[in-house]
A and B are shown apart, each in its own frame.
Chain A
Amino acid sequence: MQRSWAWRLSVTDLYLWAFRIVVLAVVIWGTIGTVAARRYGGEVWIDFLVFGMSQGSIYALIALGYTMVYGILRMINFAHGEVFMSGAYTAYFVAAAFGRSGYLDRNPVVSLLAVLAVAMATSTLIALLLERVAYRPLRQSPRLVPLIAAIGASFFLQYTFRGFFGSGFQAYPETQVLKGTWAIAGVNILRTQAVVLVAAVLMMAGLYAFVMRTKTGTAMRAVSEDKEAAALMGIDVDRSIVIAFAVGASMAGAAGFLYAIVFKQVHFFMGFVPGIKAFTAAVLGGIGNIPGAMLGGLFLGIFESVGPILFLEGLGIVAPYQLKDVIAFTMLVMVLIFRPSGILGERLMAKKA
């Protein structure tokens, strides 16, 4: 057993190295091919980056919910994508009412803020209900039990919304102020994208300050480190967990709102794919880590936007954008091979596993 142990270890190591080299070679070869073809000018590459960043910041905002909950409970809240959906979907009814009455264009800031507030409130409400009904009773259970409950809750929420509001989609009304582009530093940026980027950065900074600077935030971090010890220190563990859920969900609600003003369409299944992507982003950045979620989201968005064209087109692969998730997930695996707990992940996995 011992001899073959050493032998096989080296083979797997070789394979791992071969894997890394092949991926890197493909990336480099493809990049050279694409760049050498000179099909795209500098401003086009900036477009790709901006598109990627705006998509990425939505991923990042959703990823914050995964990260908050994971950080404190070590639990993947699989239904988080549906929390995002519920906010965007419910706020649609408010936005549509504003749109019909013309209030949206007369007082765009007030009405958009109201829509945002409804989205955040609904998402928070749904997440708190979820926590109370589905997750709290399972807090002492083995790790996979809450995961399955979360998967069940995810289906339940999707099809509840479908039953309530129909299986078609709804379209948010256009807002005149958000149409067109702004020229920022010589680059034309879509207004919606600028709003999304700024809002996302602000919210994440606020959240970071909340977690790092306030007393509640400190309590949450303490609970995340060690529940028993935190309880002994007089911290209300339940309350901290509820706040983590609420804050994460309100970020998802805000993401839902931003998603809706960029993409307009909402429907009952809209949360699933962004949910998976945000989960990926959270892991990419180091799950449980707030700046990590932001970084992971941006990374993922940019890879999805730039990757297919930069790495694949140069290789002569047809329809590269069909393969953008292949790129995203391969990059994820690459990052995890080099840094098994994500880009900014703390080295606490070994302790927790």
Chain B
Amino acid sequence: MKRSRIPIALVLALMLAGGQYFVPAAPAATVGPVTDPVGVVRIAKGAPLTIAYWMVVAGPDASLGTDTKRGVEIAIADKGGKLLGHPIRLIGEDTGCNAEGGVTAATKLSANKAIVAAVGSNCSSEAVPGAPILWKAGIVTVSPSNTAPKLTAPDRGPTYDGYLRTAHNDKVQGRVAAEFVYKSLKLRKAATIHDGSPYAEGLAGVFTETFRKLGGTVTAQEAISPTDTDMRPMLTKIAAGRPDMIYYPIFIAAGGHITRQVKEVSGLANAKLMGADGMFSPDFMKAAGEAAVGMYHSSPDLSPEALGPAYKVFLDKHQKRYGEKPLAPFHPHAYDAANMIFAAITKVAKKDAAGNTYIGRKALRDALFATKNFKGLTGTLTCDRFGDCADPKIAIYQTLSADPAKWDPGKNPKKVYP
């Protein structure tokens, strides 16, 4: 008898407890000298200014997040660990490169009222559910490595108002790659390979679409898994279509395997190879060895005069601090994201007489979206109104030497297009 009542009581209690959850939208807040429709962060004199990261720093995809996290850490170190007289404090959450990890991390960060802005996420699948959660709490986030077009598509909706990225949209890069192959190399038959990540799938899709529109033939659209090692059977299948070019915009590990094994498959000895910025790194030379020579990569234009040296300096700092080379390609994007945030904070922060700092959240968001001609490691950044900040200038590079020590984008790999 008693038992049957418990569920009813439970449901009743549930409804009662749930009923009070119609919380009205946060009213405009005025704290100190700042009024802001979303909210204001007050940082007492000498207290730390909190920046958060939400990246994948644990699990099998950890190298992606560790890499971008280090980019942020170096950016902080370059500021001497201080901004506006406050020490910069970096806190963060692991996102696991999956949607639920993104939700949990964003929820945890959104509960922390001290966070001024965030850098993240890594995987587009984390940002799709995560970015709206952060923005609901007034936290603006800049992603160093989300490339899925939908995140900054015009129809993305107001819940993504607090989302920007320094990683470039797949749309631009895939198109440039296809144009280069068709117009500059004058090749007509290409095959694509992706690894099931939204990044690679998106790029391969855009490439195929553009290449076909230009009049080329795509002989095969293959897919692998990022943990695969033996690519030869798949490459043998591709060889049957006799492509002139294989486009595989994937990551270093699997990309290295493909690059090495292409030469071992009969029928592909003369096929040209092309990857994207996902493996545009000295580490890729290590992974692919001599086979990398002659290969093409699309990547943001790192013109050697202005940005090349800065990147070299960055690499030195990285080596000194972490004892290893960068693990993935998005650390400069993370470095730029952090610096963009610092610049925007400096622009909108107000101090009162006692030395406390006030930052309006909406103002910070607007300042970030207004970023213009910002000189970063990845190029000159200008944000559009949907949050795409990456330099749309994509260049094509060709590797001349596979010695990681001779890595010097512009000279080796040599810039060949435009």
Q: Residues of A with Cβ closer than 8 Å to B?
A: 39-40, 43-44, 47-48, 51-52, 54-55, 162, 166-171, 174, 181, 188, 190, 259, 263-265, 267, 269, 272-273, 304-306, 308-309, 313, 318-322, 325
Contacts and interface: CB of A to CB of B under 8 A. Distances in A.
Interface residues of B, number: 37
A30 to B, nearest CB: 14
B341 interface: no
A263 B257 contact: yes
Contacts of B234: 308, 321
Q: Tell me what chain A mostly uses at the interface: helix, strand, loop, or mixed.
A: helix
Interface string B230-250: 101110110110000000000
Contacts of B63: 167-168
A190 B264 contact: yes
B261 to A, nearest CB: 9
A48 B233 contact: yes
Residue among A39, A51, A304, A325 with max Cβ neighbours from chain B (10 Å) = A51
A264 B327 contact: no
Interface of B: 60, 62-63, 66, 196, 221-225, 227, 229-230, 232-234, 236-237, 239-240, 252-253, 256-257, 260, 264-266, 283, 286-287, 289-290, 323-325, 327
A171 B252 CA distance: 12
A47 B266 contact: yes
Contacts of B283: 168-169
A55 B232 CA distance: 10
A12 B237 CA distance: 39
Residue among B221, B230, B260, B289 having the largest count of chain A Cβ atoms under 10 Å: B230
A279 to B, nearest CB: 15
A202 B227 CA distance: 28
Nearest to A52: B233
A267 B253 contact: yes
B223 A319 contact: yes
Given A47-B236, A167-B63, A264 B253 contact: no
Contacts of B232: 47, 51, 305
A169 B236 CA distance: 26
A168 B324 contact: yes
Nearest to B66: A167
Contacts of B327: 166-168
Contacts of B252: 169
A327 to B, nearest CB: 11
Given A265-B256, A305-B233, A309-B237, A166 B324 contact: yes
A166 to B, nearest CB: 5
A345 B47 CA distance: 68
Nearest to A323: B223
A306 B62 contact: no
A265 B227 CA distance: 12
Contact of A322 (B60, B223, B286, B290): B223
B67 to A, nearest CB: 9
Contact of A174 (B233, B290, B325): B290
B233 A321 contact: yes
Nearest to A269: B60
Contact of B222 (A181, A264, A304, A319): A319
B231 to A, nearest CB: 8
A174 B227 CA distance: 22
B289 A171 contact: yes
Contacts of A259: 229
22 contacts: A44-B236, A48-B233, A48-B236, A167-B63, A168-B325, A181-B264, A259-B229, A263-B230, A264-B260, A265-B229, A265-B256, A265-B257, A265-B287, A267-B253, A304-B230, A308-B234, A318-B221, A321-B224, A321-B233, A321-B234, A321-B237, A322-B224
Contacts of B265: 47
Nearest to B225: A322
A208 to B, nearest CB: 26
B71 to A, nearest CB: 15
Nearest to A305: B233
Nearest to A169: B253
A47 B62 CA distance: 35
User: Which of B264, B286, B290 gathers most chain A CB within 10 Å?
Assistant: B264
Contacts of A190: 264
Given A168-B325, A265-B256, A309 B233 contact: yes
Nearest to A319: B223
Given A43-B266, A265-B287, 14 more contacts: A48-B233, A51-B230, A51-B233, A52-B233, A167-B62, A168-B63, A168-B325, A174-B289, A174-B290, A181-B264, A265-B253, A305-B232, A319-B222, A321-B224
Contact of B225 (A43, A47, A325): A325
B224 to A, nearest CB: 6
A171 B287 contact: yes
A246 to B, nearest CB: 27
Contacts of A43: 266
Contacts of A265: 229, 253, 256-257, 287
Which of A188, A304, A322 gathers the greatest number of chain B CB atoms within 10 Å?
A322
A273 B223 contact: no
Nearest to B57: A167
Contact of B289 (A44, A47, A264, A321): A264
Nearest to B240: A39
A313 B236 contact: no
B242 to A, nearest CB: 11
A47 B265 CA distance: 9
A171 B287 CA distance: 6
Nearest to A174: B289
A51 B233 CA distance: 7
A339 B221 CA distance: 37
B233 A306 contact: yes
Given A168-B63, A321-B233, A273 B227 contact: yes
Contacts of A269: 60, 227
Nearest to B233: A305
Given A167-B66, A174-B290, A321-B233, A44 B223 contact: no
